[in-house]
Structure 1
Amino acid sequence: MEKISNRNFLIILAFVVGIIGGLAAALLKSLTHFIASTLQDDIEWHFKYSFYFVLPLIGILLSVLYVRKFLRGKKFEHGVTPIIYAISRKSSKIEPHNIYSQIITSAITVGFGGSAGLEAPIAYSGAAIGSNTARFFGLQYKELTMLLACGAAAGISGAFNSPIAGVVFAIEILLPEFSIPVFIPLLISAALASVVSKLLYSEPLFHTTVSDWEVGALFFYFLLAALVGLYTIYFAKLSTAVKNWFGKISNPYKKVWISGIALGGMILVFPALYGEGYLTIQQILDGRFDAIVKNSLFSDYKNIGWVVVCYTVLTLFAKSFASLFTLNGGGNGGVFGPSLVMGGLLGFAFAYGVNQFGVVQLNVPNFVMAGMAAALAGIMHAPLTGMFLIAEITGGYTLMVPLMLVASIAYLINRSVLKHSIYTKVLAESGDLLSYEDKDRTVLSMMKLRYVLETNFVVLRPEQTPAERTSDIIHSKRNIFPVVNDKGVLLGILYSERLFSILLGEEEGREKPFEQLVQQPNDIIRDTENMEVVMAKMNRDDIWILPVLDTDGKYLGFVSKSSVFNKYRALLARQGNYLA
């Protein structure tokens, strides 16, 4: 029997990851729908306000309790950022519990009304499926990263029933540098996930009858793209501000109460904020333009056009706060879904508002879809994902030209102000982002100090003399000797040239203790410093080797440029082969 090739084995695993990813997506959607319908069905909408006020708080609390009680000692994160971090800094390894914990916590959060999306959790769960499948078979970084991306693509594909968007998402967000062979496993995983998800949960995300776009409306598409681009900049800055504010609160249950009560209050005034918000967008796509006001406290004014427009704008800004409060308060979800809703609301408010003037009549559903694509492109820095996703989930391929324009313009506007997306900003600031624009810095950021630490040095004691350690000094393969006391603290260093000079009688000191001969190094390296700092210290005085100490000043070893360069070449080769 012939041995299966590595390429064919990866394709088989892509099949497996795609099927499991589709099952996970169907499970998440079904579980969320079951929770939401159980809590809301058969309740008169007037009485739902009281439930809207408390249910999101309960959902966030249950999510926090699950993490703290069932995932003790395990790190739990949400969103797409940790997936990118895993590729950049953790050799694409994701903890196995994310396969199920992402599904459980996000279903609870969103099912109980948390204003977040399910797409980021299912992408995270899918990425964990791919990563751990590769680890189970002992695959290397290159294959591990590929299957991680396959899992994420499968998750997005299964969540939206949109295989093309799943593939494009994996390439744009997770694999900025890729080659054509990568497409094959991604296509297989995304396609199978879509099939499995559709078989188990056939309800489409959106459905609409798309009419062709008019060339005369092109100016208004440009205008909408500019508005959405500016809004995405606002949302990114707001996201940072809210995250920093919640970061100052140390008690997790205090975060739950603050976010839960605030979210309940917002939903009381703006019922469209409850859950993902896709139902409101679907009603607008169906032509029920008063739906956003109809079931609110302002339902008596649903027939006044400008009231609908103003209320939609207020809902749009409230949605940004609601989603960020949900995520930073302890709930699990992502900004993928809220981005679609916010873009759709802005597209609706724009087109419906223009129509109120009576000068032109814009096709409102078309602008809703264009707004969704533009928002996704700007917030995620993923114009292709925004374009193909909206085209797939709405069947609106006839709108491809407007979608291409609005996605590109919104992205360019956001990119002109914000270099990094909402997913990569934190990683870029901490130096943990895998960047292909500055490969030297990227490779250094991937390198860990402990991997280049050298410890095979002859350690000298301060009370000893060169005469006592003659044999060790002569037979040492190193030309530098650390002088360390009995507490492990580095007192200084001695070079072999000076020690040989003393032993040969060219210099006095044969019977002197090392503590009298020791000299201080040009600099030291702390074990907490990253490799960029290490290389900066070495290059500053053209130093080839430096001692490494812990925070208490205890000697750990040395790091040399030779070891750094060797590791650099290995990582560069790995990065060059990364998905080649």
Structure 2
Amino acid sequence: MRGRLLKKLENLNKWRMQKISNRNFLVLLAFFVGIVGGLAAALLKGLTHFIASSLQDDVEWHYKYSLYLVFPLIGIFLSVLFVRKMLKGQKFEHGITPIIYSISRKSSRIEFHNVYSQIVSSALTVGFGGSCGLEAPIAYSGSAIGSNMARFFGLSYKEVTMLLACGAAAGISGAFNSPIAGMIFAIEILLTEFSIPAFIPLLISSALAAVISKLLYSEPLFHTTTTGWEVEALFFYLLLAVIIGLFTVYFSFLSQAVKQWFAKISNPYNKVWLSGISLGVLIFVFPALYGEGYLSIQQILDGRFDSILKNSLFSDYKDIGWAVMIYTILTLFGKSIASLFTINGGGNGGVFGPSLVMGGLIGFAFAFGMNQTGLVQLNVPNFVMAGMAGALAGIMHAPLTGIFLIAEITGGYTLMVPLMLVVSISYFINRAIMKHSIYTKVLAESGDLISYEDKDRTVLSMMKLRYVLETNFVRLHPKETPLDRQSDIIHSKRNIFPIVDDEGKLIGIIYSERLFAILLGEQEGKDKTFASLAQKPNDMIVETEHMEVVMGKMNRDDVWILPVVNKEGQYLGFVSKSSVFNKYRGLLVRQGMYLE
């Protein structure tokens, strides 16, 4: 039955390839990706909020403080258990970084299980109080939808990449009901070089996802009203931008430190205990850290500035302005730790949502604190929105996404000028210090990041040594003589011969010119062993080295070919500039077709 169905689908695809051009078919698939991406976003939001409301609404209030200690632990544990038991050995990753890696190194291939596994694991994590966002998981799920749909129909790399980006745009659009921000997110983060035709599929997927998500889950993320901004407050927006930019640098460094620390813990369940208990304690002290944290931001936007203290252990101080501001700052730093502990401890989520919350808390603490001095009276909700956009731009290196996301989800288009200023300054401060975003730093360090600022380096980083390795060389044994292998030497099409011992280790090399001179004239050399005739190569390439290093060694010694060995020194083959250049040309063509 399954075989017949696959056969029919295969025949249908063949008919499609004859009747419909790939360009038109791509637009058609963008419709389906948008619809399915919107359904996935609505499902994730609905499932997460169902879990959260069930835990909070069905529990008597005087028990909640104690239960906050165990809810996050349970959520992270269930998430890890789901991944380990249900996926059984399949690779599971979280965040935006693996999506970028799949584009640059895996031909935009994303495993199918991410369509559902990202939704289930993140709903468990965040629904039980994990202090991270749902946006990265839904972007990952949407990318998997687009990637697998394109691969099913046998589309090319550039078309698979396009639909992958459509899926990510649909996920973000559906999560925030913000189609423009979803489209811009895909362009800024995933499609760093694009052409105008790329807008069409992205617009379709993003718009449809927003419609589907709104029909199924109409609750807005944020709602606020703004009457505009005052020119007199411009200096304070600039000051806020600098503060946020510096905070995003701190968060980037903290993210690296926490990741490295958790990487030292080999047992995944030890990570669960550590992160779950730590998160429970943090939420016990700072209840606003429970879940995504959007509720606290909405309460601030509604003008309930004391809400952040209201349900905490320090609620008696909610009417003291300075206490509210100090507690907000402590909550801000608690959020930075809680979100990273949740993600690295085994929970599934991203820093997209925490970035918005942390930015909003900075904007609130800044404006509210300034108002406490009595010297100025700033519009607190405006600064909250500007802070959200600035933090997103700095941490993710996505300034346009920050601007349009906040403008769309809050309806704050009248704040466009302050948003542009805060976002620009925050972005440039972080980029000047960090160079790469929190998503791309690891990929840049490993040479797996596509960069259009240095195309030569980018194309080299896309190459893998095994694809340019040449193995059709005649091996010579150290104990043999030129006379022993005379026939093989004469008939070889190569001008270089590796000398390899019984254990497969490379002893040295010898060129055909030297061997022919011996065979045709040097009588005494004919009886010498290859071990005595071997010459040391200028350098050797280890199979794990990047192509940038390989070309560096070749250029340094001005050689055209070098031997390749494994970590134990065993001979594998040779790599030549000819093979590298041929592969280089092929990748340039592929890269040129990326989004034409």
The SS at the match of 1:546 is strand
190-199 vs 512-521, which moves further:
512-521
Mark the CA change 1:544 to 1:122 in structure 2 (over 3 Å): closer, same or farther. Answer: same
Q: CA deviation at 1:506?
A: 4.3
CA distance, structure 1, for counterparts of residue 329 and residue 478 of structure 2 = 74
**Aligned partners of 1:501 and 1:507 also within 8 Å:** no
What is the one-letter code of the residue matched to 2:64? Answer: K
**Aligned partners of 2:237 and 2:422 also within 8 Å:** yes
Q: Is the aligned partner of 1:572 residue 2:564?
A: no
**Aligned partners of 1:290 and 1:302 also within 8 Å:** yes
Give the corresponding residue for 2:204: 188
CA distance, structure 2, for counterparts of residue 20 and residue 544 of structure 1 = 51
Q: Is the aligned partner of 1:393 residue 2:415?
A: no
CA distance, structure 1, for counterparts of residue 276 and residue 215 of structure 2 = 35
Give the corresponding residue for 2:9: none
Q: Is the aligned partner of 1:3 residue 2:58?
A: no
Mark the CA change 1:520 to 1:357 in structure 2 (over 3 Å): closer, same or farther. Answer: closer
Give the corresponding residue for 1:466: 482
What is the one-letter code of the residue matched to 2:364? Answer: F
The SS at the match of 1:481 is strand
Q: CA deviation at 1:473?
A: 1.8
Equivalent residue for 2:518, pick from 470, 491, 502: 502
Equivalent residue for 2:177, pick from 153, 157, 161: 161
Q: How does 1:208-287 map to 2 (within 5 A)?
A: 208-287=224-303
Q: CA deviation at 1:72?
A: 2.6
Q: CA deviation at 1:353?
A: 1.7
The SS at the match of 2:564 is strand
CA distance, structure 1, for counterparts of residue 341 and residue 454 of structure 2 = 35
Q: CA deviation at 1:8?
A: 0.6
Q: How does 1:459-538 map to 2 (within 5 A)?
A: 459-506=475-522, 508-538=524-554
Equivalent residue for 1:404, pick from 387, 398, 420: 420
Give the corresponding residue for 2:340: 324
Give the corresponding residue for 2:436: 420
CA distance, structure 1, for counterparts of residue 531 and residue 376 of structure 2 = 89
Q: Is the aligned partner of 1:429 residue 2:472?
A: no
Residues 40-94 of structure 1 deviation map (CA, whole Å, 9 limit, x = unaligned): 1133333211111110011111111122222232222111111111122222211
Equivalent residue for 1:379, pick from 386, 395, 398: 395
Equivalent residue for 1:453, pick from 469, 490, 502: 469
Q: CA deviation at 1:526?
A: 1.4
The SS at the match of 2:526 is coil
What is the one-letter code of the residue matched to 2:481? Answer: T
Q: CA deviation at 1:162?
A: 0.5
CA distance, structure 2, for counterparts of residue 463 and residue 230 of structure 1 = 66
Q: CA deviation at 1:230?
A: 1.4
Give the corresponding residue for 1:337: 353
Give the corresponding residue for 1:143: 159
Q: Is the aligned partner of 1:103 residue 2:119?
A: yes
What is the one-letter code of the residue matched to 2:363? Answer: G
Q: Is the aligned partner of 1:539 residue 2:555?
A: yes
470-479 vs 542-551, which moves further:
470-479
CA distance, structure 2, for counterparts of residue 95 and residue 488 of structure 1 = 37
CA distance, structure 2, for counterparts of residue 36 and residue 204 of structure 1 = 17
Q: Is the aligned partner of 1:21 residue 2:37?
A: yes
CA distance, structure 2, for counterparts of residue 149 and residue 507 of structure 1 = 68
**Aligned partners of 1:45 and 1:295 also within 8 Å:** no
Identity level (%): 79
Residues 316-367 of structure 1 deviation map (CA, whole Å, 9 limit, x = unaligned): 1111111111111111100000000011111111112222223332221111
Equivalent residue for 2:320, pick from 300, 304, 318: 304
CA distance, structure 2, for counterparts of residue 291 and residue 357 of structure 1 = 21
CA distance, structure 1, for counterparts of residue 557 and residue 245 of structure 2 = 47
Equivalent residue for 1:44, pick from 55, 60, 78: 60
Q: CA deviation at 1:492?
A: 2.1
TM-score (norm 1): 0.97
Q: CA deviation at 1:523?
A: 1.7
Give the corresponding residue for 1:123: 139
CA distance, structure 2, for counterparts of residue 166 and residue 499 of structure 1 = 65
21-30 vs 112-121, which moves further:
21-30
CA distance, structure 2, for counterparts of residue 44 and residue 372 of structure 1 = 33
**Aligned partners of 2:447 and 2:546 also within 8 Å:** no
The SS at the match of 1:509 is helix
Give the corresponding residue for 1:361: 377
CA distance, structure 1, for counterparts of residue 577 and residue 592 of structure 2 = 22
Q: Is the aligned partner of 1:349 residue 2:365?
A: yes
The SS at the match of 1:491 is strand
**Aligned partners of 2:561 and 2:577 also within 8 Å:** yes
390-399 vs 131-140, which moves further:
131-140
CA distance, structure 2, for counterparts of residue 551 and residue 186 of structure 1 = 45
Give the corresponding residue for 1:170: 186
CA distance, structure 2, for counterparts of residue 555 and residue 357 of structure 1 = 73
What is the one-letter code of the residue matched to 1:277? Answer: G
Q: CA deviation at 1:392?
A: 0.5
Q: CA deviation at 1:507?
A: 5.1
What is the one-letter code of the residue matched to 2:512? Answer: S
Q: CA deviation at 1:25?
A: 0.7
CA distance, structure 2, for counterparts of residue 16 and residue 276 of structure 1 = 29
What is the one-letter code of the residue matched to 2:469? Answer: L
CA distance, structure 2, for counterparts of residue 262 and residue 325 of structure 1 = 8
The SS at the match of 1:522 is coil
Q: CA deviation at 1:161?
A: 0.6
Q: CA deviation at 1:400?
A: 1.2
Q: CA deviation at 1:553?
A: 2.2
Regions of 4+ moved over 6 Å: none
CA distance, structure 2, for counterparts of residue 356 and residue 320 of structure 1 = 25
What is the one-letter code of the residue matched to 2:228? Answer: D
TM-score (norm 2): 0.94
**Aligned partners of 1:547 and 1:557 also within 8 Å:** yes
The SS at the match of 1:77 is coil
Equivalent residue for 1:56, pick from 65, 72, 76: 72
What is the one-letter code of the residue matched to 1:456? Answer: N
**Aligned partners of 2:94 and 2:348 also within 8 Å:** yes
What is the one-letter code of the residue matched to 1:489? Answer: K
CA distance, structure 1, for counterparts of residue 340 and residue 532 of structure 2 = 61
What is the one-letter code of the residue matched to 2:310? Answer: K
CA distance, structure 1, for counterparts of residue 545 and residue 439 of structure 2 = 25
Q: CA deviation at 1:515?
A: 3.2
What is the one-letter code of the residue matched to 2:451? Answer: S
Q: How does 1:193-208 map to 2 (within 5 A)?
A: 193-208=209-224
CA distance, structure 1, for counterparts of residue 342 and residue 507 of structure 2 = 53
CA distance, structure 1, for counterparts of residue 478 and residue 429 of structure 2 = 63
- Runs of 5+ unmatched residues, structure 1: none
CA distance, structure 1, for counterparts of residue 332 and residue 469 of structure 2 = 53
Q: CA deviation at 1:511?
A: 4.0
Q: Is the aligned partner of 1:438 residue 2:475?
A: no
Q: Is the aligned partner of 1:555 residue 2:579?
A: no
